[in-house]
Each structure stands twice: as structure tokens, then as C-alpha cells.
Structure 1
Amino acid sequence: MKNYLLLTILFLSVSTYAQKTEDIKSIKAMCGCYEIKFKFAETFNYPKDSANYKASKVKHETALEWAQLIEDESNKISIQHLLIVGKGHIVKHWRQDWLFENTKLYDYNGFEDWKFKSLPKDKVIGQWTQKVYEVDDKPRYEGSASWIHADGRHYWENTTNAPLPRREYTQRSDYNITKRTNVHEIIKNGWIHDQDNDKIIRDEKGNDYVLAQEKGHNTYTKVDDSKCEAAQKWWVENQEFWKKVRTKWNAEFAKNKDIKLKSDIDGKPLYMHLSKLKRDASQEEINTVIDSFIVSK
């Protein structure tokens, strides 16, 4: 009986190690240079005033993007995405952090605020939290789930609340939460980001109404890293500045408290205020700008 228990423990340990190794391989597979096709279409809508409702147009876009590995630890992997626009102009895009068996998350509440929540340890065993950040590294959305490796597929799926994406908030303001079902699937020549989204109206009492639904299908096709050389160079020149920005945000997240932000100051969002700073700005200068957007409670 004792030998059986030891063998069982050994088997589980080996199995867990193999699973985590495969998870890490899949996450890191999202790094590199990619040609991207973005596709979004509003599939169904349920407006109370259907006569005046305007659905979002079908959207097709293409892009070239570099995904830079910036942190590589046993329980944390961080990937910074950089868009390459026109003849080598670089736009700092979104960032995704992956944390193993993480219990601390921020849930978007719909009013430029995120509610801190703590998950029981036994509910996140073997899971990875994907934390997605805006271009200025402020929070966007987070969710925890297990990577699945079965039948020749490698994917991660989670449903969570998020702010409106840029393609929506620049066009409409009739809802305030995008409830996203995200699927990240690694394929032979890259990866797919598949989305099934609910466009939700949430009131101050926390009542939700689904205004519409949307399908998103983004394909990332891997190309030679040399095509993204401009982004690689840009990151070398700017990484210390953004490391300081992350340091400030990490200090805020570590407080384990709800976060509420101003959408703009003097008509300009946070990323525009940060862009005015010199690349060798001090930690204190960066902290001051970010602090000005944090609403005290």
C-alpha cells in the first residue's frame, strides 16, 4: 500500500510537471513576429429601442506585430506587443502577463473601476491567469483557466469582463462592459485569438442587460523575425521607461484594493500624458503622472 501511494504521488508529480511544461511552451509560442488579420462582426442585438439602434459595422484589419518576451520566470511570463505601422513607426500595444496558480484578480466593473477579488487556492490548481493591460499598462481584463492539450490541440479559454475595445469606444457609448470569452489556440504556423463577446449595459446597482453579441476571430501568422526588426530596436531603446511604468502599476496592484481611474485629464488619456515624458524620466515623474489618474477612495 505504501509503495502504491508513493508511485501515485510520483505519477502525479511527473504529470503536473509535464502539463506545466506544455503550458509554458504554448504561452511562449505567442512570442515573435506576426502578420495579423482582425475580424469582428456583431452577430445579434437586443436593443429596447430597435428603431434607433445602430449595430457596429463588420471590421476587417491587418497588422504587423512583434511580441516581445519581457519576463520569463517559473510562475510568470510577460509578453509585450508592439505594432509596426507604415514605414517602421512603432506603437506600444497591449501586454499580457501569465501567472501560474494566481489567486488575486481585478474584475472590470463598467465605470472605469476594477473590483479586487481573491480566489480560493484550491480553485486555481494548475491554472494560469492571463492579465491583459492597456497601451499605458493600466489594467484591462483578467481571467484564470487551465491550458488544454488534447486531440492535437493546445488552447486556453476564459470568460471575463473588460472595458470596451478602442474599435468600439471611439464609435459608441451605449454600453459599458464587454464580457469576453477569449480562446487562445496555438496552431502550426502561429496562433488564433477567438472571441465571443457580450456587449453589456451595467447600471450603478450592478444590474446587467445584454445589448448585443459579437464574434471576433484574429489570426496571428508567424513570419521571419527580421520583418519586425524596427520593433525590436524600439523596445531596446524604450524598455527602461516602460519598466518604471510597470513598477508603479505593480505597486498599486499589490495593495489588493479596488482601483478607479479617471478616463482623461484635460481631455487627454493617460498614455498621452506619459508620452510627453522624456524616455529617461525618473520613477518619481512617472509615479506623479499615474497618480493623477487614480481616484482616491
Structure 2
Amino acid sequence: MKQFTLFLSFCIAALTVTAQSKLEQDRQAIKSLAGYYKVTFDYAETFAADTAYKFHPRYHTWGNEWAVVVEDSPKKIVIQHLLAVDDTTVIKHWREDWVYEQPSILKFDKDNTWKKVTLKPNEVKGRWVQKVLQVDDSPRYESIGTWTHVDGRHQWQSETDSPLPRREYTKRKDYNVLRRGNRIYITPQGWMFEQDNKKVVRAPEGDKILAQEKGYEEFTKTDEANFAFAKKWWAGQQSYWTDVRSAWDNIFAKNGTIKLTYKKDGKRLYERLFDMADQSAKEKWSAAKNKEEATKVINGYLTQS
């Protein structure tokens, strides 16, 4: 009996070490997404059931993007992306939050509306939620998946619904949901964000797939010197956006449904928050004031579902 107890203790200890090792592998893979990159964006529609459907032109562009870790705790890693347009212009780009074993996700429905969905324990165990936020830190989409580390390959994949991509939401009205098949994998040169997407028409009677699409966003490591101005710019902006994230966290915690209006008084939410960032830096606002003013602005765009 004593020998069996010792053996059982050894097995439990071994499993604990293995789990800890896997978690650390996951964390290192996620943190390796940060860095200085040239990013190429390539998308092409590939299939439509309706033979009369006219495929839209392929999309290609590129940019220099700095992905910087702004929060690193054992079970949460936050990476902010900054687009370095030139030596004098930086755009605060998208943000990705990685949270380990999060018990819920904010699921996109349609019409700028997201609803909190509770996950089952077996859907959460050992898995990471990737939250993708827009330039103003409003929600875009969340999905959950497992990082795998096999034969020297490190990858994560998921499927989830999202709003129309930025490249199309001002140009198209023929679909209203993008069902994303996401796959992220580490490459020798950086990392790849591969997508198998479905363009969905969501209506009360159900979903209809309009067309399918293949996407590649390739992040290739590039010279850090390209980001000198971006570093200087972010040093003056980072504390403000930390406070905006805190304001959003409180709003997410208090609301099971997030529904945002597109414009208010002729301005989008990101325009107001960006203007306020400059005002905060100029007038040296405190963290409390940043959070208070950001909360007021954001609440002005929240609507009843």
C-alpha cells in the first residue's frame, strides 16, 4: 500500500510538471508573436455555391508593424500592435489578449453586437482565449483553442464569428458576418496568421454562406531601426491606453451584451479616443482622469440591444 501511494504521488508530480511545462511552452509561443515585422496581407475569395456570384478582386497590401508585450502575467499576455506608416506617422493598430482557461468568451452576433457566452469546463481546460480588439480597444472577436507543440512546430487554431474585416466593411453590404477559421503558427522568420473564412449572411431565418475566402498575414522579422519614431510615440501614449483598457475591462465586466453605435455626432469612437489621447498627453492627465473620461466617451457609444 505504501509503495502504491508513493507511485501515485510520483505520477501526480510528473503530471503537474508536464502541465507546467506545457503552459510555459504556450506562453513562450505567444510571447514570440511580439517583435518588429514587415507584414504582408493577402486575401482571395475561393468558392461560392451560387454560380452567378461574382468574385471580388484579390486584396494585397503590406506594412511595418511593431508588436509589443504590454502585459505579462502567468495566465494573461497582452500584445499591442503599432503600424509604423513612415518616420513621422504611427497608427495604434489592433491588440491581442491571450488568456489561459478563461471561462467565457464574448461572441459576435451581428450589427455591432457581442454577447457573453459561458463555456463548459471541458471546453476551457488547457486552452487559450485570443481576444482581438480594434484600434480603440473595442471588441472585434474572441475565440478559444489549444496551442500544440509537436515535431518542432508550434501552432494554435480556432473558429469564431467576427464583424466584416476593415478592408471590406466600408465597401460591402452583401454579407454581415465573417466566420473566421484562424490558424497561427511560428515560422523561422516570424509567424503566419492563416485564415479559412466564410462570408455569412445572418438573418432571422438562419445563416447563409455567400462565399469562402483564403487569407495569409505573414509576419517577417525586420530591422528594429524602422521603428525609432514608433517607440518614441508609444512611450508618450502607452500610459493613456493602459487606462483606456482598464475602462473597457470594467465595461466588459458589467455587461453581458455589448452593442456599439457606429457613429455619434458624426464621429466614430476611435476618433474621439485618439483625440483624447493627444489631449491627455498635452495636459498631463492622471490615470484616474484618463479612465473617467474614457468611460464617459465609451458609454456614449453603448446602446441597448
Residue of 6, 14, 18 corresponding to 1:3: 6
- The whole-number CA distance in structure 2 between the counterparts of 1:68 and 1:201 is 35
AA aligned to 1:279 is S
| Secondary structure, aligned partner of 1:36 | strand
Spell out the pairing of 1:203-282 with structure 2 (5 A cutoff).
Answer: 203-204=203-204, 207-277=206-276, 278-280=279-281, 282=289
- The whole-number CA distance in structure 1 between the counterparts of 2:55 and 2:240 is 40
Summarize deviations over 1:155-176 as a string: whole Å, max 9, x none: 0000000011110112111111
- The whole-number CA distance in structure 2 between the counterparts of 1:255 and 1:291 is 12
Residue 294 of structure 1: how far off its partner (Å):
0.4
State the partner residue of 1:293: 301
- The whole-number CA distance in structure 2 between the counterparts of 1:56 and 1:153 is 34
- The whole-number CA distance in structure 2 between the counterparts of 1:57 and 1:234 is 35
State the partner residue of 2:57: 57
Residue 237 of structure 1: how far off its partner (Å):
0.4
AA aligned to 1:274 is L
Asked whether the 8 Å contact 2:127–2:146 carries over to 1, the reply is yes
Residue 275 of structure 1: how far off its partner (Å):
2.2
Residue of 1, 10, 19 corresponding to 2:22: 19
Which shows bigger deviation, 189-198 or 119-128? 119-128
Seen in structure 2, the aligned counterparts of structure 1 residues 267 and 212 have a Cα distance that, compared at 3 Å, is: farther
Q: TM-score, normalised by structure 1?
A: 0.95
| Secondary structure, aligned partner of 1:115 | strand
Residues 1:146 and 2:146 aligned together: yes
- The whole-number CA distance in structure 2 between the counterparts of 1:76 and 1:275 is 26
- The whole-number CA distance in structure 2 between the counterparts of 1:111 and 1:222 is 36
Summarize deviations over 1:140-196 as a string: whole Å, max 9, x none: 000111100002210000000001111011211111100001111011120000000
- The whole-number CA distance in structure 2 between the counterparts of 1:18 and 1:249 is 32
Residue 47 of structure 1: how far off its partner (Å):
4.4
Residues 1:76 and 2:76 aligned together: yes
Spell out the pairing of 1:73-152 with structure 2 (5 A cutoff).
Answer: 73-152=73-152
Residue 4 of structure 1: how far off its partner (Å):
2.1
- The whole-number CA distance in structure 2 between the counterparts of 1:99 and 1:64 is 26
Asked whether the 8 Å contact 2:157–2:182 carries over to 1, the reply is yes
Residue 256 of structure 1: how far off its partner (Å):
4.9
Q: Tell me which protein shows more helix as a share of its residues.
A: 2
| Secondary structure, aligned partner of 1:279 | helix
Asked whether the 8 Å contact 2:87–2:229 carries over to 1, the reply is no
- The whole-number CA distance in structure 1 between the counterparts of 2:59 and 2:204 is 31
Structure 2: segments with no counterpart, 5+ residues: none
State the partner residue of 2:170: 170
Residue 296 of structure 1: how far off its partner (Å):
3.2
Residue 225 of structure 1: how far off its partner (Å):
2.2
- The whole-number CA distance in structure 2 between the counterparts of 1:229 and 1:167 is 27
Residue 235 of structure 1: how far off its partner (Å):
1.1
Residue 252 of structure 1: how far off its partner (Å):
1.1
Seen in structure 2, the aligned counterparts of structure 1 residues 204 and 263 have a Cα distance that, compared at 3 Å, is: farther
Summarize deviations over 1:108-129 as a string: whole Å, max 9, x none: 0011100111112332111111
AA aligned to 2:240 is F
| Secondary structure, aligned partner of 1:209 | strand
- The whole-number CA distance in structure 1 between the counterparts of 2:245 and 2:22 is 29
- The whole-number CA distance in structure 1 between the counterparts of 2:195 and 2:269 is 27
- The whole-number CA distance in structure 2 between the counterparts of 1:183 and 1:125 is 19
- The whole-number CA distance in structure 2 between the counterparts of 1:90 and 1:81 is 11
Residue 224 of structure 1: how far off its partner (Å):
3.0
Considering only aligned residues, what root-mean-square deviation do their CA atoms show, in Å?
A: 1.5
AA aligned to 1:126 is G
Residue 266 of structure 1: how far off its partner (Å):
2.7
Asked whether the 8 Å contact 2:41–2:62 carries over to 1, the reply is yes
State the partner residue of 1:67: 67
Q: TM-score, normalised by structure 2?
A: 0.92
Residue 54 of structure 1: how far off its partner (Å):
4.1
AA aligned to 1:135 is V
